[in-house]
Structure 1
Amino acid sequence: MVADPAELRGALVVVTGAAGRIGRCLVEALVSAGATVVGLDLARFCPPGDGRYLACDITDETAVRDTVARIVADHGRIDVLVHCAGLSAIGAFEDHDLATHRRVMEVTHFGAVAVTLAALPALRAAAGRIVVVGSVAGFAPVLGRPPYVAAKHAVTGLFTALRAELAPSGVRVTLVHPTFVAGGMTEASDRAPGRERASTGRELTPADVAAAIVAGIAQGRDLVLIGRTAWLSWYVNRLAPGLYVRLMTRRLRATGTAAGRGTPG
């Protein structure tokens, strides 16, 4: 099990969504820590000529199985699996059709399911670790992105349950919840007119998130909250959920209008 910084050296780490903003920073941070990294993403996003990346559509179950088998054949093991892939959809509930809701869930939740199912034998053999890059939206309501909130709640709930199920086999689960990240993320459909991304508190950089993920893996942590807003949201939502909703709604609506960005919900 990867439980201290020294053990990242030589570890084989698979990262999904590896060509995204956070994904690329995470690949570099893990390599700097001494890990061997295999980054998975769609072929059109993978950096050309970079042997650390493999093209893989995580919504294609056959492609996932074949890619994971190739990784195990090439490297002999998987020590850490990081689920970094995800899609968002900005706007109110009715701004998006059912296909958009399904697409966000397919990538963010079911993609993680598919890759985990394929990689689990190798992770068990290595007594490895699964890392889920979640969000404040994974444990609390966040205005203006209901498909994303639904998908992040789903994947967070699944791997919270799997932590206890997998523990006897030596596989550990780390849940990572950053607050808003500068630049946002890929969206599942064209954004509705007037619906802009609002945020609250200091936005993190992708490098901030990557550094915190690497530290969480190295320290063997079960939960990593990144950013002051994430910490406040975690505790306020549990102790006073009504207060959390009022504060979140007020702040997100204020940032949406103050910056000339449409109210997100």
Structure 2
Amino acid sequence: MAARVSELRGAVVVVTGAAGRIGRCLVEELESAGATVVGLDLARSCPVGDARYLACDITEQDAVRTSIERIVAGHGRIDVLVHCAGLSAIGSFEDHDLTTHRRVMEVTHLGAVSVTLAALPALRAASGRIVVVGSVAGFAPVLGRPPYVAAKHAVTGLFTALRCELEPSGVRITVVHPTFVAGGMTEASARVPGRERASTGRELTPAGVAAAIVAGIERGRDLVLIGRTARLSWYVNRLAPNLYVRLMARRLRTGGTAARRKART
């Protein structure tokens, strides 16, 4: 099979949360597009012996700074930074204590802040791109995971605002919003008994999300909505927010009931 022509060919791409479901697929997809990929994740999560991965806790500022310096020293530049790291927490607002709310925010939002601050000089030098893997929860209310909704709103709002600030220096920003992904994601605390992960619409595969992210980068998109539910949610939430809330609440509650029935069978 002939190699495909790609705007990512030869680019140096850093991916946080690279050992997660979407992260691993993204590493492979970026490499297929011709990029040199460095994946950051916790040491216990990184594949043993895979030189593409670098152990780094993105909540530790010194570790982030050291890792970015190492990448720039080894590869000479950073062309694209993909924020894929995140934590969720399933349940109602009062199901989780402050520690859980803080942990979700620390990884999903503040981790992105820390890595961006460290990598920004290299991104400016390369006129590079920052990619934020958000969620429908980043622009609309989603029932049953308030810490995650708060963190995704925070990171989405920050990088949407930064788009205008960084554009004069040549740094572009892509914000990606997938809908529900099969298998869910890592949670900040143990699941509260009886709290199933409800979803609405057809779930996406991690590989499908990764492919859509890479396509969005190559097309220079500012916004990438992945999945029919994400696209519908985007427009309905803006045009008729009250209708969106009613539909989301009803469909997620229905999904939760179905999940409980399935668990009992």
TM-score by length of 2: 0.96
- Are the equivalent residues in 2 in contact too, given 1:104–1:151 (CA < 8 A)? yes
1:78 aligned partner: 78
CA distance in structure 2 between the aligned counterparts of 1:259 and 1:166, rounded to whole angstroms:
44
Q: Would the alpha carbon gap of residues 176 and 261 (structure 1) be closer, same or farther in structure 2, given more than 3 Å must change? A: farther
- Are the equivalent residues in 2 in contact too, given 1:81–1:129 (CA < 8 A)? yes
- Are the equivalent residues in 2 in contact too, given 1:197–1:261 (CA < 8 A)? no
Is the partner of 2:177 in helix, strand or coil?
Answer: strand
Q: Which moved more, 1:179-188 or 1:5-14?
A: 5-14
Any residues of structure 2 matched to 1:1-265 within 5 Å, and which? 6-260=6-260
CA distance in structure 2 between the aligned counterparts of 1:68 and 1:258, rounded to whole angstroms:
45
Q: Deviations over 1:78-119 (max 9, x none)?
A: 000000000000000000000000000000000000000000
CA distance in structure 2 between the aligned counterparts of 1:222 and 1:259, rounded to whole angstroms:
35
Gaps in structure 2 of 5+ consecutive residues: none
CA distance in structure 2 between the aligned counterparts of 1:258 and 1:64, rounded to whole angstroms:
42
Is the partner of 2:213 in helix, strand or coil?
Answer: helix
- Are the equivalent residues in 1 in contact too, given 2:196–2:260 (CA < 8 A)? no
Gaps in structure 1 of 5+ consecutive residues: none
CA distance in structure 2 between the aligned counterparts of 1:29 and 1:261, rounded to whole angstroms:
36
- Are the equivalent residues in 2 in contact too, given 1:82–1:130 (CA < 8 A)? yes
CA distance in structure 2 between the aligned counterparts of 1:20 and 1:6, rounded to whole angstroms:
25
CA distance in structure 2 between the aligned counterparts of 1:110 and 1:94, rounded to whole angstroms:
23
Letter aligned with residue 26 of structure 1: L
Q: Which runs of 4+ in 1 moved over 4 A?
A: none
- Are the equivalent residues in 2 in contact too, given 1:198–1:261 (CA < 8 A)? no
Letter aligned with residue 57 of structure 1: D
Is the partner of 2:7 in helix, strand or coil?
Answer: helix
CA distance in structure 2 between the aligned counterparts of 1:172 and 1:146, rounded to whole angstroms:
29
Is the partner of 1:258 in helix, strand or coil?
Answer: helix
- Are the equivalent residues in 2 in contact too, given 1:88–1:186 (CA < 8 A)? yes
Q: Deviations over 1:190-227 (max 9, x none)?
A: 01110010000000000010000000000100000000
| Number of equivalent positions | 259
Q: CA deviation at 1:258?
A: 1.9
- Are the equivalent residues in 2 in contact too, given 1:176–1:213 (CA < 8 A)? yes
Is the partner of 1:244 in helix, strand or coil?
Answer: helix
- Are the equivalent residues in 2 in contact too, given 1:196–1:261 (CA < 8 A)? no
Q: CA deviation at 1:39?
A: 0.1
**Percent identity (aligned):** 86
Q: Which moved more, 1:117-126 or 1:5-14?
A: 5-14
CA distance in structure 2 between the aligned counterparts of 1:6 and 1:96, rounded to whole angstroms:
44
Letter aligned with residue 19 of structure 1: A
- Are the equivalent residues in 2 in contact too, given 1:195–1:261 (CA < 8 A)? no
CA RMSD of aligned residues (A): 1.2
Query: Per chain length, whose mean CA-contact separation is higher, i.e. which structure has more relative contact order (CA < 8 Å, sep 6+)?
Result: 1
Letter aligned with residue 239 of structure 1: L
Q: CA deviation at 1:259?
A: 2.6
Is the partner of 1:235 in helix, strand or coil?
Answer: helix
